[in-house]
Each structure stands twice: as C-alpha cells, then as structure tokens.
Amino acid sequence: MSEMIRIAIQKSGRLSEDSLNLIRECGIQFNNGTGKLKSEAANFPAEFLSLRDDDIPGYVADGVADIGIVGENVLIETHQKVDLVHRLGFSKCRLSLAVPRGDDYRQLTDLHQKRIATSYPRILSNFLQEHKIEADIHEISGSVEIAPSIGLTDAICDIVSSGSTLMSNGLKEVEVIFRSEAVLIAHPNLSPARQQILDKLIFRIKSVQAAKN
C-alpha cells in the first residue's frame, strides 16, 4: 500500500462546512456519507477522520492523525505539541467576555471576585492573571451562555462569531481576549513521505487562497 496522510476535521460545528469546502476546492474528492466518520479520498492520498474539534489537537499530537483543521482557540486551549503549519483564514471568531445586558460594566476590574463560566479555562486564567484580576472560573463544556441566566455565574467567556448566541441569551460582549481563525496543524515529526503529501496539500490550499484575493 502506498503512503497516505490522515486528516482530522470537525464532525459538526462552525468549522465543518468551511473545512469541507476547502478540501473540495483543493480538488480532493471523498465520500463522507451520513454518519461515516472515516473515509478515503478518491483522487488524493488521504484519509479523513471526522472528530470532535476539541479532540483534534490531541489526536494530531499523538500521531493518530497526521494533520488537522481546527480553530486556533481550541489549539491554544488544549496546549498540545503540534505544529501550526498554515493559517486558513476562515471560521473567524473571537474569544470574549460577556455579561448580562443590563449590567453597568465599565472595566475589567469590575470582574474582580466574580464567577465566570467558560470552556476555555486555560486561556481565561492566563488573561485574568495578566490583568491581575482574581475571579472564580467555572469550567463547563457547552451552552456556556446559559450560565448567568440560571444563576451559575456573573459572566461568561466564550466564542463569539455573529453574536447571535449572546443576543438571544441577554448578554453583551465587554472584552475581546483574542481573535481566532481556522488553522492547519501537523504532527511535529511526519515521515518524509507524509511530509511530501502535506506540502502538496499546502501548495493547493495556497492556490485556492490566492485565487480568492
């Protein structure tokens, strides 16, 4: 069997559609029928794994997948040893702090001694430390925006894209912690054969990006 590269992509979520579009635009055909989590490309030496986005950096670090498409936010939060090999420019979002719309928030120090819900405890605690704010971080893995309305926390720190989730949950964005986009990550020690396939893929991605500018 000839050499193949394993590519991890998000199963369903903000990155999925854009990731699949990019792969298609690179001229790579594969059939990911409903529920199929592993599929081989028809015309490129690659196999696709559909995974939870939060798990992708870990799989790439372990070498279970050779490369992956993931949000920079997830990459930084998981703190896995992988190489960021190319920025993809899509699925742009920001990681922000938000409070109930009616609060009269003025500055970051207003969050001192407050409770903050997030799925990004590492990034949030670094940010708070940097700004010398002491707060109580509640880690939850999803539906973070519900936390203030059920009395769990005073504020949240989560991904904002269109802002509609904040809006529908009576919250307002008060601080942007950092801006994120989709990135291509790779295992640090790819075999020369797989590195060659990755180089070919990056070449195609660059052509797709150049055609759009």
- Assess 77 for contact with ligand PRP (CB under 6 A): no
Type of residue found at 46: A
If the CB atoms of residues 44 and 91 are measured against Mg ion, the closer one turns out to be: 91
Residues with Cβ within 8 Å of 88's Cβ and at least 6 positions away in sequence, in order, are 18, 22, 69, 181, 182, 183, 184, 205
- Assess 54 for contact with Zn ion (CB under 5 A): yes
- Assess 51 for contact with ligand PRP (CB under 6 A): no
Residues with Cβ within 8 Å of 25's Cβ and at least 6 positions away in sequence, in order, are 208
Task: Quote the crossing angle between the two packed helices 192-212 and 16-25, to the nearest 10°.
Answer: 100
- Assess 198 for contact with ligand PRP (CB under 6 A): no
Distance from C-alpha of 166 to C-alpha of 44, rounded to nearest angstrom: 41
- Assess 110 for contact with Zn ion (CB under 5 A): no
- Assess 53 for contact with Mg ion (CB under 5 A): yes
- Residue in the block written with tokens 């409770």: 115
- Assess 209 for contact with ligand PRP (CB under 6 A): no
Q: Which x/- pattern over 11-50 shows residues binding Mg ion (rule: CB under 5 A)?
A: --x-------------------------------------
- Assess 14 for contact with ligand PRP (CB under 6 A): yes
Would you say how long the chain is, in residues?
213
- Assess 89 for contact with ligand PRP (CB under 6 A): no
CA dihedral for 112, 115, 117, 118, sign (positive or negative)? positive
Alpha-carbon dihedral of residues 28, 206, 178, 172, nearest 10 degrees? -60
From the list 18-26, 32-40, 163-171, 183-191, the region that binds ligand PRP by CB under 6 A is 163-171
If the CB atoms of residues 143 and 207 are measured against Mg ion, the closer one turns out to be: 143
Q: Which residue number is nearest to Mg ion in terms of Cβ?
A: 53
Which stretches of the chain bind Zn ion, using CB under 5 A? 54
